Homo-oligomer: A and B are copies of this chain.
């Protein structure tokens, strides 16, 4: 962070002084996802920018805290609960509490999105085999999920 009121966008969804971080530790189930923390301490919630590379996907998980997402780059698809939704630029996505969710980029372009969360939040839960079995009973969801 610069410490000043302004952080410049450098182009390509990179910002002055904001590191491009690992989305989660290596070994967790995800593919080609990075994280940048745009606004953190001292404000309202935390606003992060996530980018999922072509063919990549976020971790299939659920938690009590809410995700509020604004797509700002490319397009993709999201599982929310038992529905697979198409995402386009500037679409808004809300993930309710305790709802399974996963975001995927298409094979040919990245999916970049802002994600707003409370600063205080619970640890995500990953699906047990029984959860996966239930999700896979819905053919569209079974085709979508990656673990």
Lowest 7 A-B CB distances belong to which pairs? A44-B45, A9-B90, A7-B92, A45-B45, A44-B118, A39-B68, A5-B80
Chain B residues whose CB sits within 8 angstroms of the CB of A93 once the complex forms: 5-7
Of chain B, the residue at the smallest CB distance from A119 is B44
Q: In this assembly, does A134 line the interface, its C-beta being within 8 Å of a C-beta of chain B?
A: no
Enumerate chain B residues within 8 angstroms of A44, measured Cβ to Cβ: 44-46, 65-66, 68, 116-119
- Asked if residues B5 and A85 are in contact (CB atoms below 8 Å), the reply is yes
Contacts of A90 in B (CB 8 A): 9, 13, 15, 72
CA distance A78 to B47 in the complex (A): 21
Closest to A67 in B: B43
CB-CB contacts below 8 Å: A1-46 with B:
5-9, 13, 15, 38-39, 42-46
Pick the contact of A92: B9, B45, B81 (CB < 8 A): B9
- Contacts from A to B (Cβ < 8 Å): 5-9, 13, 15, 38-39, 42-47, 65-66, 68, 70-72, 78, 80-81, 83, 85, 87-96, 114, 116-119
In the complex, the answer to whether B94 meets A43 with C-beta atoms within 8 Å is yes
Q: Write the nearest CB–CB distance from A104 to chain B, whole angstroms.
A: 15
Considering residues A6, A42, A119, which has the most beta carbons from chain B within 10 angstroms of its beta carbon? A6
**Cross-chain contact A114 with B70 (CB below 8 angstroms):** yes
Interface centre among A85, A89, A92, A114 (most CB of B within 10 A): A92
Check A38 against B70 for contact (C-beta < 8 Å). yes
